[in-house]
């Protein structure tokens, strides 16, 4: 499940607004030094210039402007950014969209109760009236993509920006954003993103829809089949899909939820092919890949794999042990923690595969050799020669030493920054403390005095709703154990220089016993459970904020947050910005020296903007003596069936269909295809992306990568990197035969 961790992380730290140079160093965009084989997540704006000939050689039968065009309807108009973290595709003229089950998991879970457990049993709306609204869920179409580098950087050197230059850049971004919004009309927003470490800029005009309703989802025995055991693995048998519908007002324009809204009539919907696939067939993935770091330095790669990944894996292992035990102990806890467990486990398993892949490929050694070659080139060319190549005065001889120096600086704060997210914000109680802290700040601004003003009462009503949601998803006994684990890890793994005085005091008071520390914190905090939190709300209603302000959970969170904001963030941003500048300079130099080499092409790293990846249907060999086929079938699903293990418990209805061979038009050689692998370069954010054939028809939905290839965010390997695709024939089979929702089949265009 590529996108679960990415989606939640991205939405929490990245506003959907213009990202300007130097303002968001953590997620700045880099570009690889040179694409190898068919790797790459390419800007569709340049397919005709950079990729179309190669795509045709692999089998593509469409002109470039049918794949992407700013001037006419194209395949891009059937692709949506799903809630800022996944991708979905339009599959009917009535706004039906298809994405992954794990992308829609939160919405499915939110609608589930013990009486109507849609996660466990599935959900199929038999008419429009049964389709379920999802407040806050959005989908966005890219209506245009434009290179605006000249508009923004003319007369500026992106790596030597004075304060005045930065002000000029900000002003240009604001003016351009306003202009594009005005030109494109109402209901749109403009996203401006830097590429290649800020040396190029692109403007994306988005049309965002805010009434998106749940239409269908298979039972967890299909949509989450294999669970964490099979996650990131091949062979795979997961029916990882869910279906939503976009609604619009009567003028077919974006609108917030209303009972008067009607199904959206899209500019483009995908034709679906059930004609099947063969090894070597052309495949194309269209979507919004989240983040890659293909050509960071050897120094930064070592920091990621040997420090950051290593410690985060260990902490998540401990958290998962507690959550898994709780989920196994009671059905209510299984439902309560299903979403959290899947989110935590997803990145945990991915990081392990990433580390193994980097080690297997000897990526560190390869990067070190590359850096030596770059330093030799920089030292053997005059300043005048380099200046003529680049167009700016550069001293590339200092780049590699700078990469080493700034990575060493970043090393001092990187893990502490990670642990603020993993152990502090990753903990239920301390994360929820942020909600109460925000409420207190609002009260102070509004002058919370009894009797409470209307605005205060409204704010507390919102807090009451947030309380209800939080306590429905967190168990006090489980959370107490998790708090002990998180605080212990922070204290033992992070340098004492980043221990807050409040943490040191608590550890000393309890003799280093973190279980006792957590127990006492819960015993004294009003945030411990719904009952005590209710008492806290009553205090706030009376205008009494003093006791809440001194609550031990808030005091502890406040100490971490204060240190994060005042110490960690400034250092992290400063070191990251310097490191990214050095990495960008190395990239700039390589692009310049290879400018005349037609066989070397560059693509910008993923940054949640619309991209195309292309490849072929293929199996792979994960190790010596083992060769995986490119497909799996329903026979394999049934072979894995185990009613005693939740994640491998096949629904009875599916077992009955298998026994009776009631497969309809989806039958192939006495079974039903389930999934297949291809060589497309994908990452988090590509979950839910359509996988298209040579004619642009939908043949599957991207949902994962093989474990041996998860290092593709750092280095692509043509032999091991395989994206895992849900065969559209299995999707349709489940909808029609298991879900008995023929109305959905009838509104699709199927060939």
Q: Which residues are marked as active site? A: 102, 240, 687
The percent of the chain in helix, strand and coil, each rounded to the nearest 5, is 50, 15, 35
CA distances from 267 to 94, 223, 247 (A): 10, 29, 14
What are the beta bridge partners of residue 248? Answer: 262
Name all contacts of 389-392 with Cβ < 8 Å and 24+ positions apart.
Answer: 389/592, 389/593, 389/595, 390/588, 390/589, 390/592, 392/157, 392/159, 392/160
Distance (Å, whole) CA 23 – CA 273 = 44
Cβ of 105: how many Cβ atoms within 10 Å?
23
Kind plus residue range of the DSSP H or E element containing 631: strand 631-633
Chain center to CA of 410: 24
**Sequence-distant (≥ 6) Cβ neighbours of residue 684 within 8 angstroms:** 2, 3, 5, 6, 7, 85, 289, 290, 291
Buried residues in 644-673 as b, exposed as e (16+ CB within 10 A) = eeebbbbbebbeebbeeeebeebeeeebbb
- Name the residue among 715, 612, 605, 608 with its Cα closest to residue 197: 605
Distance (Å, whole) CA 283 – CA 55 = 9
Three-class secondary structure of residue 286 per DSSP: strand
Chain center to CA of 381: 42
**Backbone phi and psi for residue 196, each to the nearest 5 degrees, phi listed first:** 50, 50
Angle at 518 between CA 515 and CA 521, to 5 degrees: 150
Distance (Å, whole) CA 171 – CA 242 = 42
- The torsion of the CA quartet 44, 695, 680, 297, rounded to 10 degrees, works out to -20
Could you give the residue ranges of the DSSP H alpha helices within 42-155? Answer: 52-58, 64-67, 105-110, 118-121, 149-153
Could you give the residue ranges of the DSSP H alpha helices within 330-425? Answer: 331-361, 363-380, 383-390, 399-419
Angle at 296 between CA 292 and CA 297, to 5 degrees: 160
Q: What tokens does 700 get?
A: 């599957």
């Amino acid at each position: 499940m590529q996108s679960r961790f990415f989606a939640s992380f991205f939405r929490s730290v990245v506003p959907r607004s213009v990202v300007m140079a130097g303002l968001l160093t953590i997620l700045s965009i880099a570009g690889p030094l040179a694409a190898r084989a068919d790797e790459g997540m390419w800007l569709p704006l340049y397919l005709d210039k950079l990729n179309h000939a190669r795509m045709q050689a692999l089998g593509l039968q469409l002109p470039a402007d049918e794949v992407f065009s700013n001037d006419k309807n194209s395949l891009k108009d059937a692709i949506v950014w799903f809630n800022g973290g996944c991708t979905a595709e339009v599959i009917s003229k009535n706004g039906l969209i298809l994405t992954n089950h794990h992308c829609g998991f939160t919405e499915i879970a939110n609608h589930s109760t013990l009486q109507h457990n849609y996660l466990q049993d599935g959900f199929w709306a038999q008419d429009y009236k049964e389709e379920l609204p999802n407040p806050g869920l959005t989908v966005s179409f890219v209506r245009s993509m434009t290179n605006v580098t000249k508009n923004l950087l003319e007369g500026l050197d992106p790596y030597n920006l004075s304060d005045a230059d930065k002000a000029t850049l900000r002003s240009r971004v604001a003016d351009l954003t306003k202009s594009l919004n005005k030109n494109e009309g109402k209901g749109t927003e403009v996203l401006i993103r830097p590429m290649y470490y800020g040396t190029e800029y692109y403007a994306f005009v988005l049309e965002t829809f805010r009434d998106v309703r749940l239409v269908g989802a298979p039972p967890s025995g299909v949509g989450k089949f294999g669970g964490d055991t099979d996650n990131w693995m091949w062979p795979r048998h997961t029916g990882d899909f869910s279906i939503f519908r976009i609604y619009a007002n009567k003028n077919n324009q974006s609108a917030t939820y209303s009972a008067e809204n009607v199904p959206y009539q899209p500019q483009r919907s995908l034709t679906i092919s059930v004609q099947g696939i063969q090894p070597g067939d052309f495949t194309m993935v269209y979507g919004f890949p989240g983040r890659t770091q293909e050509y960071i330095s050897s120094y930064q790669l070592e920091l990621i794999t040997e420090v950051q990944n290593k410690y985060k894996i260990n902490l998540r292992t401990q958290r998962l042990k507690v959550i898994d035990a709780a989920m196994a102990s009671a059905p209510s806890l299984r439902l309560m923690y299903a979403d959290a467990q899947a989110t935590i486990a997803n990145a945990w398993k991915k990081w392990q595969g990433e580390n193994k892949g980097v080690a297997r490929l000897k990526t560190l050694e390869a990067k070190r050799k590359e850096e030596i070659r770059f330093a030799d080139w920089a030292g053997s060319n005059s300043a005048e020669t380099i200046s003529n190549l680049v167009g700016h005065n550069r001293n590339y001889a200092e780049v590699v030493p700078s990469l080493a120096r700034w990575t060493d600086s970043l090393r001092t704060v990187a893990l502490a920054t990670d642990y603020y997210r993993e152990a502090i914000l990753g903990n239920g109680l301390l994360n929820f403390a942020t909600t109460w802290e925000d409420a207190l700040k609002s009260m102070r601004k509004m002058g919370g005095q009894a009797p409470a003003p209307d605005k205060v009462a409204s704010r507390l009503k919102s807090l009451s709703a947030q309380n209800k949601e939080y306590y429905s998803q967190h168990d006090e006994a489980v959370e107490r154990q998790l708090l002990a684990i998180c605080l212990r890890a922070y204290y033992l793994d992070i340098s004492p220089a980043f221990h807050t005085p409040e943490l040191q005091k608590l550890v000393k008071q309890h003799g280093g016993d973190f279980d006792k520390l957590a127990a006492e914190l819960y015993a004294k905090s009003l945030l411990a459970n719904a009952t005590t939190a209710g008492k806290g709300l009553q205090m706030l209603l009376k205008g009494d904020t003093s006791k809440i302000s001194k609550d031990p959970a808030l005091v502890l969170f406040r100490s971490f947050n204060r240190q994060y904001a005042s110490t960690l963030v400034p250092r992290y941003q400063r070191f990251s910005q310097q490191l990214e500048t050095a990495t960008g300079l190395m990239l700039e130099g390589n692009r310049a020296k290879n400018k005349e080499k037609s066989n070397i092409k560059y693509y910008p790293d993923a940054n949640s903007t619309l991209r195309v990846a292309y490849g072929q249907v293929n199996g792979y060999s994960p190790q010596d003596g083992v060769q995986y086929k490119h497909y799996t079938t329903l026979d394999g699903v049934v072979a894995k069936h185990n009613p005693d293990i939740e994640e491998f418990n096949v629904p009875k209805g599916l077992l009955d269909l298998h026994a009776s061979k009631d497969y309809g038009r989806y039958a192939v050689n006495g079974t039903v295809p389930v999934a297949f692998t291809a060589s497309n370069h994908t990452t988090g954010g590509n979950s839910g992306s359509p996988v298209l054939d040579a004619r642009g028809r939908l043949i599957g939905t991207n949902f994962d990568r093989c474990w041996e290839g998860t290092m593709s965010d750092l280095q692509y390997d043509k032999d091991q990197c395989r994206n895992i695709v849900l065969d559209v024939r299995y999707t349709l089979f489940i909808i029609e035969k298991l879900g008995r929702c023929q109305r959905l089949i009838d509104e699709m265009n199927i060939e």
